[in-house]
């Protein structure tokens, strides 16, 4: 399972990087989304995968015994997903607006900010 996830994470990072190197605005956003998902899965993977052992202290004992699923990475991922959801919705509106105003989605033509005025 770890191997599979590791490959998955690698693929997401690779695909994300490939997409942000393209010239289209839409592909840029897709690339950023893929990278974000890769990072989330990486947190999950590095928090160690434990199956079927929730971190609940059984009745009668005072501490967890043996391996148990770490709840912290899941809390982190949940936070990161919510944040990236907000950022992505902003990004989509932004590129729509930029496309309307600038009239192109080719990143090479978005260069008014580098002109000397």
Q: Which stretch binds another protein (CB under 8 A): 51-59, 60-68, 91-99?
A: 91-99
Q: Give least dist CB 58 to another protein, A.
A: 20
Confirm or reject binding of residue 18 to another protein (CB under 8 A).
Answer: no
Tokens of 11: 């693929």
Binding site for another protein (CB under 8 A): 20, 25, 28, 32, 35-36, 38-40, 42-43, 45-48, 70, 72-73, 76, 79-80, 83, 86-87, 90-91, 94-95, 97-98, 101-102, 107, 110-114, 116-117
């Amino acid at each position: 399972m770890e191997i599979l996830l590791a490959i998955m994470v690698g693929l997401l990072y690779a695909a994300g990087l490939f997409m942000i190197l393209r010239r289209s605005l839409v592909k840029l956003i897709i690339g950023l989304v893929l990278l974000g998902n890769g990072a989330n899965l990486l947190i999950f993977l590095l928090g160690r995968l434990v199956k079927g052992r929730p971190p609940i202290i059984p009745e009668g004992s005072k501490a967890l015994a043996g391996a148990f699923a770490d709840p912290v990475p899941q809390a982190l991922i949940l936070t990161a997903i919510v944040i990236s959801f907000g950022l992505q919705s902003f990004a989509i509106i932004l590129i729509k607006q930029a496309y309307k105003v600038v009239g192109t989605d080719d990143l090479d033509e978005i260069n008014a900010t580098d002109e000397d005025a």
